[in-house]
Amino acid sequence: MDTIKAVFKNKDVMKKILFTLAAFLIYRAAVYIHIPLIQPAVIRDIFSQAGGFLGIMDAFTGQALSNFSIIALGIGPYITASIVIQLLQMDIVPILKEWSEEGDAGKQKINQVTRYLAIGLAFIQALGMIYGFHLQPGPGIFTISDPNFLTFTYLALVMTAGTAFLLWLADQITLKGVGNGTSMIIVAGIVSGIPAMFGSLTNDYIRSEAADLGSYATFALIVLIYLLVLLGVTYMQSATRKIPVQYSNRPSSAKFKGRQDSSIPIKINSAGVIPVIFAVTILSLPQTVINFVPAIQASTIGRWLNEFFNYQRPLGFLVYAVLIIVFTFFYSFVQINPDKMANNLQKQNAYVPGVRPGVETENYISKLLFRITVIGSLYLVVVAVLPIIAAIIFGLPAYVQIGGTSLLIVVGVAIETTKQIKTDVQGKNYSGFIK
């Protein structure tokens, strides 16, 4: 409560919050600006019968994809480009690795390359998506009778421009608002769908003519589970394991003991939500191709692909869990490099108590990170598969998502944004005290 009061008293922080809310309004308005030459009702019918990757992307874009608006792609291409560039920095492309070590100037170059790649990916993705929807059986998606290559190219350019606009809006939030602009745009899309989810849930279980005591109890249980999952995810996203560190070049007297001892916090889930996004993308891309090409659906290959890549099937469910675990280990060791951490400690004349500097410290950090990642990967698997299990047990409709990737993103961004707001408020207080 003290922090909330301090926020309202701080004019600079309030301006940032109001600017962010204004950017959200612009984003939500753009969701309802439809792409020309397209029949939105036909697109919505396609989405009502589809799920998987399309459903996840629609949630990330705040239903902009099912509305087929000018920002239908969201900032998904930028996220994909960022992941690709980050992986290429691992001694795959030497120039990118050099830029990553050049400080702010290098980061600016990498950011520029990432944006160029994102624009290119957005155009390719838009072109493929429009053509895929065009191949769907039933009434066509176009308002014209004979679309040609120029029509597809024009619409793809419009969708690409929408993604470029969102990247600009995200930059404005980062510069003049609160939080990371890219993350805040994603969260705005996800959160905008939560009221509709609970509204539909209330209509089906409370206001329905067939509602009875059993439906009331089911509704209360779903809400309770949702709150418990929210609390659990918040706790796990904030949980850390601290590595004790001591500095040999500092006084060892009792007076300086608090300054001598320190620690390095390592998050239980250091990989964040990236492993789940990787796993969902790998599993759902073949599903999307199958949905867009009806001829494959009835074939033997199509049935096997559906069994293997559909995480609602037993085999696909197992593959989904394994992919999350593998990517969690991979990305955790990318984010936290034990060799680099051990070298930095040695340069600072610091050491872990009871562990020799150098190779032994590296091995110690590697073993500790491995054990932490085991817990983090199992946690991600539980949260990711929770919507699937809940839907099977309670027979929930597709619009109800208890847990899953969306909740991980919202909680993670909320925690980081709260920390930034606290830092801004405290910085203002300290500067006022000094003056």
Instruction: Indicate whether 244 and 187 sit together in one domain.
Output: no
In the three-class reduction of DSSP (H, G, I as helix; E, B as strand; rest coil), residue 71 is classed as coil
**3-state secondary structure (DSSP) of residue 268:** coil
**Shared domain check, 147 and 25:** yes
Q: Any idea what DSSP says for residue 34?
A: B
Q: Are 316 and 283 in contact (CB under 8 A)?
A: yes
How crowded is the C-beta side of 297, counted as CA atoms within 13 Å? 10
Encoded amino acid at 251, one letter: P
Beta bridge partners of 240: 267
pLDDT of residue 52: 53
**pLDDT over 70 (residue 396):** no
User: What is the percent of the chain where pLDDT is above 70?
Assistant: 87
- Residue 213 inside a domain? The answer is no
For residue 286, CA distances in Å to 53, 139, 283, 306 come to 10, 24, 7, 8
Domain coverage including residue 151:
14-192
Q: Is residue 209 part of a domain?
A: no
Tell me how many domains the chain contains. 2
Residues 33 and 151 occupy one common structural domain: yes
Q: How many angstroms separate the CA atoms of 99 and 412, rounded?
A: 28
Query: Does the pLDDT at position 27 exceed 90?
Result: yes
Length of the chain (residues): 435
The yes-or-no verdict on residue 163 having pLDDT over 90 is yes
Residues 384 and 250 in one domain: yes
Residue 257: pLDDT above 70? no
**Please, which pLDDT band fits residue 295 given cuts at 50, 70 and 90?**
low
Q: Which of 406, 408, 415 is nearest to 380 (CA)?
A: 408
Q: In this structure, are 302 and 408 located in the same domain? A: yes
Identify whether residues 85 and 172 lie together within a single domain.
yes
**Segment (H or E) for 262:** strand 261-267
Same domain? 245 vs 175: no
366 and 266 part of one domain = yes
Domain end marker among 192, 227, 261: 192
Q: What does the angle CA 143 – CA 42 – CA 299 come to, to the nearest 5 degrees?
A: 115
Do 175 and 44 reside in the same domain of the chain?
yes
Domain closes at, from 131, 158, 192:
192
Q: Summarize the confidence of residues 229-251 as an average pLDDT.
A: 84
In a domain, 8, yes or no: no
What dihedral do alpha carbons 338, 340, 345, 347 form, nearest 10°? 160
Cα angle: 118, vertex 119, 125; to 5 degrees: 85
pLDDT, tens digit (0-9, with 9 covering 90-100), for 197-207: 788 788 878 88
264 SS3 class? strand
**122-158 pLDDT, tens digit each:** 999 899 888 888 877 777 888 888 888 899 999 999 9
Residues 176, 248, single domain; the answer is no
With respect to residue 364, please indicate whether it lies within any of the assigned structural domains: yes
pLDDT digits (tens, 9 = 90+) for 303-356: 777 777 777 778 888 888 898 899 899 888 878 888 888 888 888 888 888 888
Q: How far apart are CA 141 and CA 120, in angstroms?
A: 24
Query: Do 101 and 165 have their domain in common?
Result: yes
Q: Is the pLDDT of residue 254 over 50?
A: no
Q: Which CATH number does the domain housing residue 120 bear?
A: 1.10.3370.10
pLDDT of residue 169: 95
Give the single-character DSSP code of 35. P
What's the order of all strands across the beta sheet hosting 261-267?
A: 261-267, 240-247, 350-351
Helix (H) or strand (E) holding 261: strand 261-267
Residue 216 lies in a domain: no
In a domain, 97, yes or no: yes
Look at residue 104 and tell me if it is in a domain. yes
Of 192, 222, 252, which residue constitutes the final position of a domain?
192
pLDDT, tens digit, for every residue of 79-135?
888 878 887 887 778 888 888 888 788 888 999 999 999 999 999 989 988 888 887
Reading the block at residue 424, the tokens are 């801004």
For residues 64 and 34, what is the distance between their CA atoms, to the nearest angstrom?
Answer: 9
Cβ count near 341 (within 10 Å): 18
Give the global pTM: 0.80
Q: Do 168 and 258 share a domain, yes or no?
A: no
